[in-house]
Structure 1
Amino acid sequence: MNMKKVIIAMGLAFGVSIAASAADKKPVHEGPSVSVPAGDIKFVDTGVKSDGKELKAGPAYGNLANGRHGTFVRAPAGFKSAPHTHTEDYYAVVLKGVGANYQAGGKAVPLPVGSYWFQRGEESHVTECISDTDCLFFLVQPGKFDYVLSK
């Protein structure tokens, strides 16, 4: 058998091995299925304030203070955070209003409803609600939420 055929055969065997081991893994379920109307989400103060305006958080799953979570975040119209970081990466989707999320010293790019951003952990950035109406974001984060002012 020539070298090219050996390499192809090894690659096929490796691929079959990976597929078989993936098929053996059981899915992880996180609890019972739930449906929560928007009006039933309980929002609490986050302690993140700017110019007398405060972000509010409403849990969807997990606990933002302890670890992996999905959380609704309300930002008042005109809210602009100070430059800050988070330890963990996170993803966010704009559900209401127009937001912006950009590196400290950068330019705000309007993010209307349906937009998303990814924020790398430990990277200084600013988050805003640039619309005349309040904003609602949904964040997914693999670890706890923290808010560390940049130096």
Structure 2
Amino acid sequence: MKVLMRVLTILILVSIVAVGCTSIQVASNNTTKAASAKVLLASEVQWEKLNPARGDKSPQAGTLWGDRMGTVPTGFLAKFVDGFSSPPHLHNATYRAVVISGLIHNDDPDAVPMWMSKGSFWTQPKGEVHITAAKGKTTVALVEIDKGPYLVLPPEKAFDSGERPINVDASNIMWVDPHGMSASANSPKLAYLLGNLQDGQSNGTFVKLPAGFKGEIRSYGSIFRAVVITGEPQYFGTNTQTLEPGSYFSSKGESVHQISSNAGKESIIYVRTNGRYKITASEK
């Protein structure tokens, strides 16, 4: 019942936000590349122990932006071995996460396992006791916090922050077109996860680029961060780069990212920004 309530909660939240946010548009337009853009390929991520106190049993962590042990917004990849299961624990900071590969279960210690596949989204409130388990040869998730340090604490340190967790499997993500209507098969699609797509407002969304898409994403916020979840889109900067799942690109200020999706494979990208952005298809 708890898992079902979590799914219903996110679906209701997505519906409410989607109706209220129509500031993203799909159009044809010519623009310049983002001079401030930075790209970090998945193959370039530097790995270290997520929880050194657990020694060889610790998952691995690879920072994409920020500093897990600092006080700044941070995003990192967490990598688990097949069969990993944590002891009951809690964190001092609320996090949001997306499954990139493998299967992940994250819930109360006594909850029936709900294995989330790639493209699934969940949140873990600070202070709440939970476990995290993984299945699959390579299991990787994107983890994001607004402020660190990111600490692992024992159950006796539990407290109620007033927040409640959300787990939503990829199969329950609701995709819409940029104007909140049902999306067509050949157009970019959006899934609203959190926040409000307005100037100055922090928000998180999924962008799904159909197979064969070529165009750009223009950001109007002061910060734009994007992590590839599925597919292998091409990024056109100083050099053309293939972005495997786990790759990251970002920019500051108004900027444009030129990107395409392979002819035979769609791409899903997690976007975190603090304002509006616009998806633009190239003119034929």
Gaps of 5+ in 1: 1-31
> Which residue of structure 2 lines up, in the alignment, with residue 66 of structure 1?
70
The match for 1:38 is 42
Q: Deviations over 1:15-40 (max 9, x none)?
A: xxxxxxxxxxxxxxxxx421111110
| Map of 2:275 onto structure 1 | none
Letter in 1 for 2:85: K
Pairwise CA distance, 1:48: 5.6
Equivalent AA in structure 2 for residue 121 of structure 1: K
Aligned counterparts of 2:40 and 2:145: Cα–Cα separation in 1:
20
Q: Which has the larger radius of gyration?
A: 1
Gaps of 5+ in 2: 1-35, 157-284
More helix by share: 1
Give me the whole-angstrom Cα distance separating, in 1, the residues matched to 2:106 and 2:153.
16
Identify which of 113, 121, 124 aligns with 1:108: 113
Q: 1:132 to 1:114 in 2, by over 3 A?
A: same
Structure having the higher strand fraction is 2
Partner Cα separation in structure 2 for residue 113 and residue 122 of structure 1: 26
User: Which residue does 1:25 correspond to in 2?
Assistant: none
After TM superposition, the runs of 4+ consecutive aligned structure 1 residues lying more than 3 A away are none
Aligned to 2:143: 139
Pick from 84, 95, 104 the counterpart of residue 99 of structure 1: 104
Percent of counterpart pairs with the same letter?
21
TM-score (norm 1): 0.73
- Distance in 2 between residues matched to 1:86 and 1:124, nearest whole Å: 8
- How far off is 1:104 after superposition? 2.1
**Cα offset, 1:54, TM superposition:** 1.8
Query: 2 CA distance for matches of 1:43 and 1:34?
Result: 19
The residue aligned with 1:118 is 123
The two structures, once aligned, show a CA RMSD in angstroms of: 1.5
Distance in 2 between residues matched to 1:53 and 1:96, nearest whole Å:
19
